[in-house]
Amino acid sequence: MIGKYEITDIKARQILDSRGNPTVECWVKTGKGTGIASVPSGASTGKHEAVELRDGEKEYNGLGVTKAVKNISRIEAKLMGHDARDQDGIDRIMMEMDGTPNKSHLGANATLAVSMAVCRAAASSKEGEVYDHIGIIYGARNFVLPVPFFNVINGGQHAGNALDIQEFMIAPIGAESFSEALRIGSEVHHSLKGILHSKYGVNAVNVGDEGGFAPPMKKSKEALDALVAAVKKSGHYKKVGICMDAAATSFQKGKKYKLDGKVMDAEGLTEYYESLAAKYPIIAIEDPFGEDDYDAFAMLTERIGENVQITGDDIFVTNNERLKDGIMCRAGNALLLKLNQIGTIIEAFDAAHLARHAGYSIMVSHRSGETCDPFIADLAVGIGCGQIKAGAPCRGERLAKYNQLLRIEEHDLPYAGMDWRKKGVE
Ligand code: 2PG
Ligand code: MG
């Protein structure tokens, strides 16, 4: 007799993501359930990330993923009959089959698609919630609705404008519930649309890859001023903090950084961030320096880490070893968690546990190329990290995550809110 959690079938296919590029979708069937999942893809990818296997053929300009899809057939042969609840065992089988430190053999897009679909299939086999099953795998039952960080102004590699900083986000830290946070995010986003339209004209309200506006601004301060004005116009004083993802590797030139028309060394850039944090209600800065600049991360954390979250994305790439190096020198105080940077759920959880033990915060993150798979919404609730970034409250693939959080909220879970040391926009 086939057990209800026993894996009986695994299928994969090539689908397209929100930028119209191929990505992998996987479907896992057990005796009693099914799970389907698809993987996202970054644009400002860190060089230490796990490998996204691409075909390199003429179709889709080299971006096809048929090789990764074929690799899933090989994975299927090893996983047939396995218990879908054994996420640890399954992910480790794939890690062993791959045998490389960066999934370059099977492709992190192949292993992650299977890892996520297995997790869903296990939850479906017991007719349970995905976040609840994630809590079991993670080893915690501290379910909270995360504070959403809405990326409402896009720059850097996500937009065709002159802004060096990649993401300007608003976070409704003072909302009473997730649904209120989403409403505040939406209202501020629409206020911002009006402000940008009247100041910069109709082209300023076209949206970038993550659903935020991509206005023809040149300097960070213009974006920050627009955010403050939008929060004020929407009437949500004190409830909203500001966050930036500098994605600074993209404006690093050797040991210098070229930002907002100035060339600065790490010390100069630290002072610049300090001055911005003193002037604006900035509660978090992600990737303020290049992906190998641990010393500069440590310097900024030392200077403003008391009041401002310094989040490591391209520097840590959800990788235990790189995070360990960061913790040793107190570089940053938060981990950005992206499953596809490492390629399996279990490895991402290793990094999350390490972050937790070191007192680092965790923010679950989408990628700039997404699908409508809402997995990261369940992930953020399941590990109880209290923070998620999934783009602006605009575009289907972004709302897929936020809307899933609305559904989960109906289970009477609390909203994380935040004990940020600084207040929101006054
Ligand atoms: C980031 C992400 C997501 P990308 O830098 O944090 O916003 O962008 O997926 O392009 O790496
Ligand atoms: Mg980033």
- The phi-psi region of residue 312 (left if phi > 0; otherwise alpha if psi is between -120 and 50; otherwise beta) is beta
Question: CA-CA distance, 52 to 108, in Å (whole number)?
Answer: 5
pLDDT of residue 418: 74
Q: Which ligand is nearest to the CA of 340?
A: 1
Domain annotation covers residue 315: yes
pLDDT over threshold 60, residue 86: yes
CA distance 108 to 176: 38
Whole-number Å distance, alpha carbon 94 to ligand 1 midpoint, is 25
Q: Are residues 42 and 94 in the same domain?
A: yes
At 420 the pLDDT is 62
The yes-or-no verdict on residue 5 having pLDDT over 90 is yes
CATH of the domain at 200: 3.20.20.120
32 is catalytic: no
For residue 44, what pLDDT is reported? 84
Model pLDDT, residue 237: 80
Tokens of 158: 């996500």
Domain assignment present for residue 232? The answer is yes
Q: How far is the CA of 423 from the centre of ligand 1 (A)?
A: 26
Mean pLDDT score of the chain: 96
Are both 111 and 250 inside the same structural domain? no
Local confidence band at 403 (pLDDT 50, 70, 90 cut-offs): very high
Angle at 135 between CA 346 and CA 174, to 5 degrees: 110
Q: Give the pLDDT confidence score for residue 160 in this predicted structure.
A: 86
Mean pLDDT of 85-111: 98
Average pLDDT over residues 122-139: 98
**3 state SS of 210:** coil
- 16-57 pLDDT per residue, tens: 999 999 999 999 999 999 999 999 999 989 999 999 999 999
Residue 425 has pLDDT above 80, yes or no: no
The confidence score (pLDDT) of residue 414 equals 94
Tell me how far apart the terminal alpha carbons of the chain are, to the nearest angstrom: 64
Q: Within this chain, do residues 208 and 97 fall inside the same structural domain, yes or no? A: no
Q: Is the pLDDT score of 423 beyond 70? A: no
Could you read off the pLDDT of 321-343 as tens digits, one per residue? 999 999 999 999 999 999 999 99
199 near 144, Cβ under 8 Å?
A: no
Q: What angle do CA 236, 239, 241 make, to 5 degrees?
A: 110
Q: Are residues 111 and 152 in the same domain?
A: no
The answer to the question of residue 140 being in a domain is no
Residue 424 pLDDT more than 70?
Answer: no
Residue owning tokens 């500001």: 242
Q: How far is the CA of 413 from the centre of ligand 1 (A)?
A: 28
CA of 44 relative to ligand 1 center, distance in Å:
6
Same domain (yes/no): 102, 163: no
Strand-pair partners of 16: 22
Closest CA to 283 of 244, 322, 331, 228: 244
Same domain, 124 and 151: no
Q: Is residue 425 part of a domain?
A: no
DSSP secondary structure string for all residues of 155-188: -GGGSSSS-SSSEEEEE-TT-SSHHHHHHHHHHH
Q: Output the ligand 1 site: residues, CB below 6 A.
A: 42-45, 167, 210, 245, 247, 313, 365-368
Distance 390 CA to ligand 2 centre (A): 11
SS3 call for 309: strand
In a domain, 390, yes or no: yes
In testing the pocket of ligand 1, which one of 44, 337, 342 has its CB within 8 Å of the most ligand atoms?
44
What's 38's domain CATH number?
3.30.390.10
Q: Give the structural domain span for 204.
A: 147-409
d(CA 340, CA 18): 16
**Distance between Cα 62 and ligand 2 center (Å):** 25
Candidates 103, 338, 389, 401; catalytic one: 338
pLDDT at 297: 98
Using an 8 Å Cβ cutoff, are 84 and 118 in contact? yes
Angle at 146 between CA 365 and CA 308, to 5 degrees: 75
H or E, element range at 244:
strand 241-245
pLDDT of residue 421: 54
User: Has residue 137 been placed in a domain?
Assistant: no
At 152-196, the pLDDT tens digits run 999 998 888 899 999 999 999 999 999 999 999 999 999 999 999
Provide the pLDDT for residue 349.
Answer: 98
Report which ligand 1 atom has the smallest distance to the Cα of 151: 7
User: Best of 23, 48, 209, 245 to mutate for ligand 1, by most ligand atoms within 8 A of CB?
Assistant: 245
* Total count of domains within the chain: 2
Q: In terms of Cα–Cα distance, which of 83, 203, 177 is closest to 137?
A: 83
Q: What percent of the chain has pLDDT over 90?
A: 95
Amino acid at 126: K
Same domain, 219 and 288: yes
Question: What's the confidence (pLDDT) of residue 426?
Answer: 63
pLDDT of residue 300 exceeding 70: yes
* Same domain for 247 and 112: no
| Structure-token pair, residue 259 | 């930002």
The larger pLDDT score, comparing residue 157 to residue 297, is at 297
Looking at residue 338, the DSSP 8-state letter turns out to be: -
Query: Quick one: 74 and 186 in the same domain?
Result: no
Q: How confident is the model at residue 253 (pLDDT cuts 50, 70, 90)?
A: very high
| DSSP code, position 51 | P
The reply to whether 1 falls in a domain is no
pLDDT at 225 over 70: yes
What 8-state DSSP symbol labels residue 418?
Answer: -
Ligand 1, pocket-test mutation among 365, 370, 395, most atoms within 8 A of CB: 365
Q: Do residues 221 and 285 both lie within one domain?
A: yes
Of all protein residues, whose CA lies closest to atom 4 belonging to ligand 1? 42
Give me the count of residues in the chain: 426
Q: Specify whether the CB–CB gap between 12 and 104 falls below 8 A.
A: no
Residue of 25, 210, 397, 409 marked catalytic? 210
Q: Is 210 a catalytic residue?
A: yes
| Closest ligand 1 atom to 42 CA | 9
**Looking at the structure, do residues 279 and 207 belong to the same domain, yes or no?**
yes
* Residue 417 counted as domain residue: no
Q: Which atom of ligand 1 is nearest to the CA of 166?
A: 5
Q: Are residues 280 and 397 in the same domain?
A: yes
| Ligand 1 atom with least separation from CA of 389 | 7
Phi and psi at residue 295, in whole multiples of 5°? -60, -45
C-alpha pair distances (Å), 84 with each of 29, 118, 134, 359: 9, 6, 12, 32
pLDDT of res. 166: 96
